[in-house]
Structure 1
Amino acid sequence: MSMGKVDPASIHTTVLLHEVIEWLKPTPGGRYMDGTLGMGGHSLALMQAADGKAELLGLDRDQTALGHATARLEEFADRTHLFHLPFSRFEEALDELGWEGIDGAVLDLGVSSMQLDEADRGFSFINDGPLDMRMNPEHGQSAADLVNTLKHGDLARIIRTWGEDPLAGKIASAILRAREKEAITRTLQLAEIVRLAYPPKMRHAARNHPATRTFQGLRIAVNRETEELEYYLKTIVDRLNPGARLAIISFHSLEDRAVKHSFRDAAKGCKCPSHQLHCTCDGVPAVKVLTKKPLIPSEEEMQVNSRSRSAKLRVCEKLTADGEEV
């Protein structure tokens, strides 16, 4: 079956859909942004919850996903504005539309099932394909470029920091030995190298495939996901209207920690150095954190969609210039 005939709803199950809508509370006349449009699940629910009378800005750097989302949102075409951009560049889209602020935003940092399951995209260590992993295949270095050119220390750092694999050094050494014999160009080729780098006892005791963390680390590095999120978190609050809510779904501890700390800092207001005993900056809180602890999928959702198990949702609300709730 060609990708053009695939029903997007059958490819990807939207994570924490009901929770996102309940917290964002979209209303007619509001302006909302989906920074990771994907297959359009959150966006479609946002528009439906607002009786189709809101305006939506959707961004995605994956052109294939953007095409599916366009079709899925066709009934709201006159009120949706879709851009082929990474979410970190959302201000370009806002400025082009002439929107100074928005009334709500959602960010789903997960990789879509379509990307994971389509072997040619190179995200999967289960199905063989070219070792790519780029969200936008027309831009940047691929995973193959990294594993075949990086020095041992840089490769180990990626696997340790972003893949959170304690065997990063052994895995990097195994990759360097393998690439001396032949270039590493296929996903299953890399997956097998990583699998064999694990000691037999750890290999057999592992709950997930040994290559899971290495592939995660490489994907984050290839798509500069950490830099994308850091820039977004620094800039998004200023473009939220008072009372607007921001919902972010993360899938690993590094992302969740970044979101947690960003929300916490924005809610403090004070920008004085931590060693200073008394506040002299007269700063006021920019947001109120609505989720003291991250929300996780229900048992029912996790049974239906196993890929939702690591999802965590955090939500904050923009305050007025005086630091008050609307």
Structure 2
Amino acid sequence: MTEPGTGVDPAAVHVPVMAEAVAAHLAPALGRPGAVYVDGTLGMAGHASLVLDRNPGAVLVGIDRDADALELAGRRLARFGGRVHLVRARFDELDRVLAGVGVERIDAMLLDLGLSSLQADRVDRGFAYRVDAPLDMRMDTRGSVTAADVLNGYAPDELVRVLRDYGEERQARRIVRAIVAEREREPFTTSARLVRTITGALPAAVRARQGGHPARRVFQALRIEVNGELDALSGVLPVMLDRMDVHARAAVLAYHSLEDRIVKRAFAAAAEDAAPPGLPVVPEHLRARFALVTRGAARPAAEEIARNPRAASARLRVLERIRPVDGGRC
């Protein structure tokens, strides 16, 4: 597949974020023959191809909800032959995916959250606020709800909730008033009209104080709502932890505070002892089953950000299972 009108294969120019750091952190868990690496957000397989190259005994279960991404990834990963199993699914369907490929325990897993480069760069998908496109924003085109459906169909209070909760937009109520007035005149269908509505709703002083594009937070909020991104993340984390074998590692790349907060809390809770505070000795069965590999979130180096500006907001957290659930193989 090539990008329409360019003749360029997106996978050939795709630059995965913090790829060297991800590969290095996952490598200790992938040394044995047949070790299972799950990429829950396969995209164009930039991380997956590097991990498979670095760990020749590992096998990949690659998951993505986007059919275009899976097609590109399949071509890029064809050289690995039978080491690769690709599944079209949302990553919070992890239990079903693993059952389908006959895998019980995993040795490493990556979640590279947010919008993929392929989705961001495809004008017809409607994710970008800098170009005019249909207001779609579905990562999986089988989904029934589009961004236009949200804008035109949600009650005002629900729209305010979406913009505040998922876009952290302080001007949510002001923007929603403008959206409601516009949609009563004519339903929203394209991104350019939405951008004009958002920009017009915000006084110049507010736009200057916010910094960045005035539509950025609204588009983020709509995308998260359409795709159920935070619900999917909250749903997959406990399943991922439960499926990890002893010495397995999980890595998550987040790009905004909403995602990172969910990951940080889940990892911190998993790495805590279950004993009440003040016990002089923690019994084995109450000791933490996981340990934090990264203290805080690792960030990309300045050199990487200069090469790939999309890496600027990335935060990488890595966790390792250090004890089984029941004293044996977990």
Q: So what's the TM-score if we normalise by structure 2?
A: 0.92
What is the CA-CA distance between 1:322 and the residue it aligns to?
6.6
Per the alignment, residue 304 of structure 1 pairs with: 307
Question: Could you say what secondary structure the match of 1:236 adopts?
Answer: helix
- The residue number in structure 2 matching 1:7 is 9
* Structure 1 residue 203: Cα displacement: 2.2
1:212 aligns with 2:236: no
Match of 2:319 in 1: 316
Tell me, in whole angstroms, the C-alpha distance in 2 between the residues paired with 1:290 and 1:277.
Answer: 25
Q: What amino acid is aligned across from residue 125 of structure 1 in structure 2?
A: Y
CA separation in 1, counterparts of 2:275 and 2:11? 44
User: Equivalent residues in 2 for 1:200-279 (5 A)?
Assistant: 200-270=204-274
Q: CA deviation at 1:138?
A: 1.6
- Correspondence 1:293 to 2:296: yes
Deviation at 1:129, TM superposition (A): 0.7
With 34-43 and 314-323 compared, the bigger mean Cα shift is at 314-323
Secondary structure of the structure 2 residue equivalent to 1:162: helix
In 1, the alpha carbon distance for the partners of 2:91 and 2:8 equals 25
Contact 2:43 2:118 in 1 (8 A): no
Paired residue secondary structure (1:37): coil
Kept in 1, the 8 Å contact 2:37–2:61? The answer is yes
Q: Do the aligned partners of 1:121 and 1:132 also contact (CA within 8 Å) in 2? A: yes
Asked if the contact 1:287–1:323 (Cα under 8 Å) also holds between the matched residues in 2, the reply is no
Counterparts of 2:209 and 2:171, CA distance in 1: 15
Percentage of matched positions with identical amino acids: 38
Aligned to 1:155: 159
Mapped pair 1:21 → 2:23: yes
**From 89, 92, 95, the counterpart of 1:91:** 95
What residue in structure 2 maps to residue 173 of structure 1? 177
2:68 aligns with: 64
Summarize the Cα distance change of 1:113–1:169 in structure 2 as closer, same or farther, 3 Å threshold.
Answer: same
**RMSD of aligned residue pairs (Cα, Å):** 2.2
Structure 1, unmatched stretches of 5+, are none
Task: Provide the secondary structure at the position in 2 that maps to 1:14.
Answer: coil
Amino acid corresponding to residue 309 of structure 2 in structure 1: S
Tell me the equivalent position of 2:49: 44
AA partner of residue 89 (structure 1): E
Q: 1:35 maps to what in 2?
A: 40
Q: Given the two structures, how large is their TM-score scaled by the length of structure 1? A: 0.93
In 1: Cα distance, 2:105 partner to 2:113 partner: 22
3-state SS of the aligned residue for 2:108?
strand
Count of residue pairs brought into register by the alignment: 321
Change over 3 Å in CA distance of 1:323–1:210 after alignment to 2: farther
* Contact kept in structure 2, 1:59 and 1:82, CA below 8 Å: yes
Partner of 1:109: 113
SS in 2 for 1:203: helix
Deviations 1:221-276 (A, max 9, x none): 1000011000111211110110010000001101111101001111114187xxx8
Tell me the secondary structure at the aligned position of residue 296 of structure 1.
Answer: coil
Identify unmatched segments of 5+ residues in structure 2.
Answer: none
